[in-house]
């Protein structure tokens, strides 16, 4: 009986801690003609950081769990030739009767892909050639510097490609995946409400040609809309001293949200080195987005990385603020958000106070990218100067606003 209970607990816990929301948008349908890849990561590994790798055919930057000091698993990333990848766990793809015991190999598969793949087709070939069973049940999302955009719904033995450039599959230029797959068992899996919320957000943005990386980072990954309830928590914020709790169940962002990665690819003919990886570490409602580039080299912003098993400073500060957002620790307290800490009428919520800092990150990065795109080349010197500025501004802002120290 004890063994049966332990098995049930592990199964339940595992199935509830990877509710990621992901999307791919073809460059044919974005504001600037560049493809976009989103991973809103949910996990029980709240401590995340970025790592630079030179252990493969191509160099790459990846999102990793901070405890993974050697970077054995990568949960989203982009490499030096503009190939990017992410995943969401799927819970309806495993074939009936599949008794395979090997599992949870997705992070290793994505690391191998970043090491070796130049294109979406390369990744498809990699999946086909890897030994079976794969030890995976996931939606892998990919883009490349040649305009390739595709999901791969993958279980231990089968691979189904969903081409986001195909108008019969993606008539509005985007495909969304949460924790189920369309080729899987009907009505099984998870994330149907989050899927519909994301679908509503993307559909509205596509109507007015407003899909860009800012929209994804600020409006999708931080959405407080609920498609089933028909509510939006941002529309009627409480007063700053009001103890108003809301149930944060089946929202895109929730207690288990740990990081967001948005890869902004390049137009066909642009240098792949201009592919940008935007990352929000820690908790989306208490953190800010920061861009990095593989071509800039091994030295990433100090705010995003850390040695050995230490946590990234931005992640650590965001998690500290997150504690105030979920102050109820007993019972099911982690489902209940103290909304006034995030947004309020006085505009002193964490999300409101941090938005100017993030907008400045956008403004400065866009100025550099405009210059680099004109030259079709990234300046490592300018990128490193930008990283130093990012470290300084983020550190000073969190200290000034919240009394937190990054370094």
| HEC secondary structure over 271-285 | CHHHCEEEEEECCCC
| Residue of 384, 355, 382, 387 lying closest to 370 (CA atoms) | 382
pLDDT for res 3: 42
Name, in order, each residue with C-beta under 8 angstroms of 338's C-beta and a sequence gap of 6 or more. 243, 244, 245, 324, 325, 326, 327
What does the pLDDT look like over 60-117, one tens digit per residue?
Answer: 999 999 999 999 999 999 999 999 999 999 999 988 888 899 999 999 999 999 999 9
pLDDT for res 96: 84
- Is the pLDDT confidence value at 382 over 50? yes
DSSP-based three-state secondary structure for 110: helix
Residue 133 is given by DSSP the state S
pTM of the model: 0.94
Going from the N-terminus, what domains does the chain have, and what CATH number goes with each?
A: 19-402 (3.60.60.10)
- Is the pLDDT confidence value at 12 over 80? no
């Amino acid at each position: 009986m004890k063994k049966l209970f332990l098995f049930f607990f592990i199964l339940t816990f595992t199935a509830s801690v990877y509710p990621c929301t992901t999307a791919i948008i073809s460059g044919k349908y974005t504001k600037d003609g560049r493809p976009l890849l989103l991973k809103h990561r949910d996990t029980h590994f709240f401590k995340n950081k970025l790592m630079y790798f030179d252990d493969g055919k191509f160099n790459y930057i990846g999102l990793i769990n901070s405890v993974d000091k050697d970077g054995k698993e990568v949960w989203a990333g982009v490499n030096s030739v503009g190939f990017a990848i992410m995943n969401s766990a799927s819970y309806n793809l495993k074939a009936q009767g599949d008794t395979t015991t090997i599992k949870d190999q997705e992070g290793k598969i994505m690391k191998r892909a970043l090491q070796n793949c130049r294109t979406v087709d390369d990744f498809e070939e990699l999946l086909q050639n890897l030994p079976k069973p794969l030890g995976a049940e996931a939606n892998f999302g990919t883009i490349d510097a040649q305009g390739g955009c595709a999901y791969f719904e993958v279980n231990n033995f089968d691979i189904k490609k969903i081409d986001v450039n195909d108008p019969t599959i993606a008539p509005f230029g985007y495909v969304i995946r949460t924790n189920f797959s369309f080729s899987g068992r009907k009505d099984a899996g998870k994330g149907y409400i989050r899927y519909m919320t994301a679908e509503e957000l993307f559909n509205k943005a596509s109507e007015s040609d407003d899909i860009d990386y800012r929209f994804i980072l600020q409006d999708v990954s931080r959405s407080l809309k609920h498609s089933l309830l028909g509510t939006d928590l941002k529309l009627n914020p409480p007063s700053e001293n009001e103890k108003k709790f809301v149930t944060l169940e089946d929202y895109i962002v929730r207690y288990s949200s740990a990081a967001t990665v948005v890869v902004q690819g390049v137009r066909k003919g642009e240098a792949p080195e201009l592919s940008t990886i935007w990352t929000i570490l820690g908790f989306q409602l208490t953190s800010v987005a920061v861009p990095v580039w593989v071509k800039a080299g091994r030295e990433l912003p100090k705010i995003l990385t850390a040695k050995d098993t230490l946590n990234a400073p931005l992640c650590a500060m965001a998690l500290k603020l997150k504690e105030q957002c979920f102050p109820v620790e007993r019972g099911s307290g982690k489902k209940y958000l103290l909304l006034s800490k995030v947004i309020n009428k006085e505009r002193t919520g964490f999300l409101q106070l941090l938005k100017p800092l993030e907008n400045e990150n956008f403004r400065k990065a866009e100025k550099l990218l405009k210059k680099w795109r004109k030259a079709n080349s990234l300046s490592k010197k300018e990128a490193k100067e930008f990283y130093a500025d990012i470290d300084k501004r983020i550190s000073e802002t969190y200290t000034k606003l919240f009394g937190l120290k990054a370094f």
